[in-house]
Each structure stands twice: as C-alpha cells, then as structure tokens.
A and B are shown apart, each in its own frame.
Chain A
Amino acid sequence: MAPNETTAAATAEDEFQVDAPTPWEVMKDRARSHMGFWIGGGFVLVCVIVAALAPWITLFDPFEQDLAKRFVPPVWNEEGSWSHPLGTDQFGRDYLTRLIFGGQISLAIGFLAATVAAIVGSIIGMIGGYFGGRVDAVVMYLINSKLALPGLIVSLSLVAVFGGSFLVLVLVLAFAFWDSYAVALRTVTMQIRSQDFIAAAEAAGASRRRIILSEILPNLMNQVIVIFTLEVALAILIEATLSFLGLGIQPPTPSWGGLVAEGREQMFFNPYLVTIPGVTIFVVAIAINMMGDGIRDITAPEGRN
C-alpha cells in the first residue's frame, strides 16, 4: 500500500466527518454568551471571597463599641467620612465590618442549609422515583405531610425550642427546604428509570446502588444544581427573616437579618441602618438567582429553552 493512498483515504473520511460538538463544548459555548451567569456568578464569588476573608480585610472589630462615635452616617451623607464608609450603628460599631461579618454567617448558613437539604431531599426523591409502588407512596406521604405544615411557623418554633445557634439554623432551614429536591428528583428519576440504558445496566447485573449512583444520579446533577442555587437564595432570605424576628442568630453576633432588626428602632432617624443590610440581602439574592438561571440555561438538555 503506497503511503499517498492512506492520506487520500484519510482526507476523504475527513470530508464526511460531521462536526458535532460534544455536550461540554455546547455548554462552554452557551456559557460564553450568557451575561446573567457571569454577572450573577461573579458577584456571588466576590461576596463569598470577601466574607471568607472578613478578619483580614476589615479594619475594625465587629463587636467593639465606641460610644463617642455613635450614628456616624455613611460616606454618601454630608457628615459621613471614609473612616467609616457605611457609618456606625447605635453602639458606634463600624457598619461595614458588621455587614461583612454578617455576610459570613448568612452566606454560610444559606449554603450549608441548601447542601444538607439537597443531600437529604435528593436521596428521598430518587428512592421514591426509582422503586415506585409502595416505597413511592411512602415518599409522597412524607412530601405531602411536609407541604401541609406552615413552614415559617414551624421553623420559628424549632429555633425557639433548640436555640438560635449556627448548627440549629442550618438544620432547621434544611428541614424547611428538602422537599423541593424530593419533588423534582422523584419525577425526573421516574422518567429516566424507564429508559433503555437503565434496563441495559439491570440486564448486565448492576446492583441497585450502582444503578442509582452511577447511572441515574449523573443525569440529575443539573437539576440538583439549579434547585440548589435557588434554595441558597431562599435560605438566606428565611434566615434573615428568623433573625429579624429575634429567633435566629442572636445579637451581638451580626447577621444580615439581625442587622435589620437592630436598625429597626432607629429606622425613622437613621434609615441607613435598615436600608444597607436590606439592599445587601436583595442584591445577593438576585445575583444568586441570576447565577441559577444561567446554570439552568447552560446545562439544559439539547433543544430545551
């Protein structure tokens, strides 16, 4: 066989090769042009870094009181100064420092609660969807019972009983949010379960655990991630609500909801004490939502919008 013949054959083959992008390339392509994903995700990333580095980048102590410097207004006010960019609170504590340390707690609770909820809820949903029948009936009954309970009142009661510690808040919020994963994953697992590749794995003698973990779970990951981001935003909102009502993180430890609660008495005279933490929660929640919507668009299966 002459060498030039092989080259000719290879070129001929190349001409017929269809250039189908791999799923990874499709996602990279979609991500590149998705503004919302970059803006939202970038902002969330900055917030997480700032919160994580709180002790090293803040100039003040979040608990140190200075009664000579009470109610210093923020810098955009005429009497404000750059020594306290967001002013000080009723005890003369630097507000920017408290906001950053509060972010540390609020973000950590939000992410951890959504993670615990994701693990528990996904397992419950997948079990119901995979086994069907009586097992599924039990899962549906659990989900229905959870849905019937008034979420906020139950969370408030649980925090009142067990105290507003970090761990309790994470668990209480996880309990408040597991059901959305269970509902979504149950349905999707049911759909995947009836597909051929599962039957193939079963025929090949794979164990149920193996089928659930390595055949079904990878197909659900994009759903889990999308719900996860939305739940992080919700968990941050609910944590803020609990702390605002006085049943979350206890003062003097700062949290975003707690800052609003502390500023509330001063609201009419020094509105910045309420507007600053409120706007922060709002903007962070929007950024997380934008990131979540972005991930959904980017990881959506072919042809879905």
Chain B
Amino acid sequence: MLNYFLNRLTVAILVAITVSIFAFSLLRLSGDLAAELAGDDASEAEIQAVAKAYGLDRPFHIQYLDWAGSALSGDLGVSVFSNEPVFEIITAAMPVTIKLATYSLILSLVVAIPLGILAAVRRNTWIDRAALVFAVSGQAIPNFWLGLMFILLFGVMLAWLPIAGQETWVHFILPTLTVGLSSIPVKMRLTRAGMIEVMQSDYIRTAQAKGLNPIAVMYKHALRNAILPVVSITMVSFGRLLGGTVVVESIFALNGIGFEALQAIIRQDFPVVQSIVAMIAFIYIALTIISDLINAQLDPRIRLN
C-alpha cells in the first residue's frame, strides 16, 4: 500500500508541476502579453514600461520560478485590473463556487443513484427506457440555455425564485438545478451498469440460490459493490465542478471562481487567471489521489497490481 501511495504521489507531483507551468504560460502564449495589456494604440515606450512594471521583461523561466516560489508561501501576486491581491480574490470567490458545487453534487447523487438502481432492477422495462431518455436529454441540453430557460420559467413567468445574486440559499436553487441536472446522467449510467454487472456475478447468484430475501440481496450484497465506481467519480466530479461552473455563475450573477476567471480572461488579467487555473488543477489532483487511495483500500486488486 505504501509503495502504491508513493508511486501515485510522485506522478501527482510531476503532473502538478506540468500543470502549473501550463497555467502560467496560458495567457502568455500570444507572445506579447505586455502589448496586449498596454492596449492597441500604446507606443513602444509604453509597452516597455508595462513589461517592466509586471516583470514581463525577464526570461520566462525566471518569471515562472518567481511566481511559483511566492505562490508556495501564499503570495499569488496582485490583479493587473484592480491591484487587489489574487489570494484575496480567490478566497472571496471560492465559498460561492464550493457551495454551488456541493449542492449540485448532492442533488445529482440523490437523483442518480436511486434512478440508476431502479433502471438496473427493472432492466428493459419502460422505467429503464425512461431513465435512458432522461440521461440522453440531460447530456444533450446546453447548460447555458437550460439556465436561461429556468430564469424565463421560474424567475419571470412564474416569478417563484430569484434569478440573480447569492445572498440566501434560495438564490442557489436555480443554479443548483442547472448544474445538478447536467451531472446526473453519468452517475446514473454508472450506477445502472455497476448494478447490472454485480447482479450477474456468482456471489449474488449464490445468495439468491440460498433463498435469501431478494431485497436484502439487492441492498446488502449488490449495492455495496455496485456503488464503488460512483463513490470515486463523485470526488472527481466535485473537482470538475469547481472549474465547470463558469457559465452558470455568469448567467445567475454569482461571484464565484468561474465568474472571476471569465472576467480575468476577458481583461487579460494574467496573475488571476494563472492562479485560478493552477489552483483548480491542484484541488483536482488532490481529490483524484484521495479517491484512488479509497479505491485501493477497498479493492486489494488495485494496490497489488
């Protein structure tokens, strides 16, 4: 187990370094960030001054090491646009996105797992087919459009729910529905597939042959194993959601991390963009390690391989 862990950790650190270099170069790929920041009609001298002010005139690797070094001690630099420390921008925006991601995750699990079990148990009936139609539709609906439709329906026509802001939990209902609905299909299909596979395995057949109560077999024997892939994808899915709520945040005027990222990208605010991309990637890497370790703990075949 220790070997497995160290192995995974080495890869993760390598990946983290690569990803941070990528995040750092993202807005620099145009070749001349200083000219972009200085504006269209800036003179050569003005561009030089901008480059000097932000340290963009130094060699790339020096800039990177400087940023990475200060980042490790918690200093992510200041926003080019507002001069606010990037660290404070992120910590102010993060709770909103974490709230949205958590609510959406709970919603998607609460719907996906029972629906997946039902579809597997009633395989090839109309329930199964309806669940499939629901899954396919969920994956095909554009997120931004679904959000707009919710605004139109519940916000304007019925006027039940607020359509912008983040003050109370009521403000999170429509954003949660929008994000949650789109992450149901994958989890539902996984639950269904896992359940069908487990139901066909020998130990379930044995349990059934012994004459155990079918409901007990289903929930005490089958579900535990069928649910494993869903548990591990839940961690990964949370990491995905942190970087995937850009659209919903901008539609519902939530000042979360996605909204900050979008603003920063439009303003070429490179210190903010590089830190947000690197941070979301780091969280994702950490979550996948944790989920790998949980899986290895639960399934010896993984850690002994």
- Inter-chain CA distance A217–B135, complex, in Å, is 31
Complex alpha-carbon distance, A145 and B246, angstroms: 21
Residues of B within 8 A of A244 (CB): 142, 144-145, 247
A20 near B: Cβ within 8 Å? no
B96 on the A face (CB < 8 A): no
Contact flags (1/0) for B122-151 with A, using CB distance below 8 Å? 000000000000001101111111001101
Assess A144 versus B280: contact at CB under 8 Å? Given A247-B265, A268-B152.
Answer: no
The closest CB in chain A to the CB of B136 belongs to A289
List of A residues within 8 angstroms of B23 by Cβ: 149
Nearest CB to that of A283 among chain B residues?
B140
Inter-subunit contact B243/A260 (CB<8 Å)? no
| Known contacts A237-B142, A274-B148, A157 near B156 by CB under 8 Å | no
In the complex, how many angstroms separate the beta carbon of A268 from the nearest chain B beta carbon? 6
> CA separation between A305 and B242, bound complex, in Å?
35
A213 at the interface (CB under 8 A from B): no
Q: Complex Cα distance A105/B14, Å?
A: 39
Interface membership of A67, Cβ < 8 A: no
Q: Per-residue 0/1 for A236-269: is the Cβ within 8 Å of any B Cβ (1 yes, 0 no)?
A: 0100110011110000000001001000100110
Which of B137, B258, B265 makes the CB contact (< 8 A) with A157?
B265
Once the chains bind, are A157 and B273 in contact (CB under 8 Å)?
A: yes
**Given that A144-B11, A160-B266, A278-B148 are contacting pairs, would A245 and B246 also be in contact in the complex, using a CB cutoff of 8 Å?**
yes
Do A158 and B247 touch (CB < 8 A)? no
Within 8 A of B (CB), among A112-163: 140-141, 144-145, 147-154, 156-158, 160-162
23 contacts between A and B (CB under 8 A): A141-B14, A144-B11, A144-B15, A148-B16, A148-B281, A150-B280, A152-B246, A153-B246, A153-B262, A162-B30, A237-B142, A244-B145, A245-B144, A245-B246, A257-B144, A260-B145, A267-B151, A271-B152, A278-B145, A282-B137, A285-B142, A289-B136, A289-B139
| A285→B182 CA distance, assembly (Å) | 14
Contact A145 B18 (CB under 8 A): yes
B153 closest partner in A (C-beta): A271
A234's nearest neighbour on chain B, judged by CB, is B139
CA–CA, A240 and B19, complex, Å: 26
Contact B141 A153 (CB under 8 A): no
Closest-by-CB residue of A relative to B12 is: A144
Q: With a CB–CB cut-off of 8 A, which chain B residues contact A152?
A: 243-244, 246-247
CB distance from B265 to the nearest CB of A (A): 5
Asked if A153 and B280 make an inter-chain contact with CB atoms under 8 angstroms apart, the answer reads: yes
Minimal Cβ-Cβ distance residue in B for A268: B156
Residues of A within 8 A of B284 (CB): 147-148, 150
Query: What residues on A are CB-neighbors of B151 within 8 Å?
Result: 267
Cα A237 to Cα B246 in complex, Å, equals 14
Q: Are B145 and A281 in contact (CB under 8 A)?
A: yes
Distance in angstroms between the alpha carbons of A245 and B16 in the assembled complex: 28
A286 beta carbon closer than 8 Å to chain B: yes
Q: Which 6 A-B pairs have the closest CB atoms?
A: A150-B243, A285-B140, A278-B145, A148-B281, A286-B140, A150-B280
Do B140 and A289 touch (CB < 8 A)?
Answer: yes
B27 lies within 8 A of A157 (CB): yes
List the B residue with the shortest CB-CB distance to A271. Answer: B152
Complex Cα–Cα for A241 and B246 (A): 10
Taking chain A's interface residues, is the majority helix, strand, or loop, or is none over half, making it mixed?
helix
Chain A window 5-25, contacts with chain B (Cβ cutoff 8 Å), 1 for yes, 0 for no: 000000000000000000000
Interface residues of B in 249-304 (CB under 8 A from A): 250, 258, 261-262, 265-266, 268, 273, 276-277, 280-281, 284-285, 288
Q: Check if B26 is an interface residue, CB within 8 A of chain A.
A: yes
Q: Which residues of A contact B148 (CB under 8 A)?
A: 260, 264, 267, 274, 278
Q: Does A109 contact B (CB under 8 A)?
A: no
Q: Report A141 CB to chain B, min CB distance, Å.
A: 6
Question: Is A169 part of the binding interface, using a Cβ–Cβ cutoff of 8 Å?
Answer: no
18 extra A-B contacts, CB within 8 A, seeds A153-B277, A237-B142: A145-B15, A149-B23, A150-B243, A150-B277, A153-B246, A153-B265, A154-B26, A161-B26, A162-B29, A241-B143, A245-B144, A260-B145, A268-B156, A274-B145, A274-B149, A278-B145, A278-B148, A285-B139
From known contacts A158-B29, A260-B148, A274-B145, infer whether A245 and B277 are also in contact, taking CB-CB under 8 Å. no
Chain A residues lying within 8 Å of B140, measured Cβ to Cβ, are 233, 237, 282, 285-286, 289
Q: Does B64 contact A (CB under 8 A)?
A: no
Tell whether, in the assembled complex, residue B27 and residue A161 are in contact, meaning their CB atoms are under 8 Å apart: yes
Residues of A within 8 A of B288 (CB): 147-148
Check A278 against B142 for contact (C-beta < 8 Å).
yes
Known: A145-B15, A153-B265. A282 touches B244 (CB 8 A): no
- Determine the distance from Cα of A148 to Cα of B19 in the docked complex, in whole angstroms: 7
**Which residues from A are CB-within-8-Å of B18?**
141, 145
The answer, yes or no, to whether B22 is at the interface (CB within 8 Å) is yes
Inter-subunit contact A141/B142 (CB<8 Å): no
One of B156, B247, B268 near A241 (C-beta < 8 A)? B247
How far apart are A278's CB and chain B's nearest CB, in angstroms?
Answer: 4
B22 touches A145 (CB 8 A): yes
A295 CB within 8 Å of chain B:
no
Which residues of B lie under 8 Å from residue A148 when comparing CB positions?
A: 15-16, 19, 281, 284-285, 288
**What CA separation (Å) do A89 and B22 show in the bound complex?**
41
Least CB distance from B235 to A in Å reads 13
Kindly provide the distance from the CB of A284 to the nearest chain B CB, expressed in whole angstroms.
8
Please report the C-alpha to C-alpha distance between residue A264 and residue B142 in the assembled complex, in whole angstroms: 14
Contacts of A268 in B (CB 8 A): 152, 156
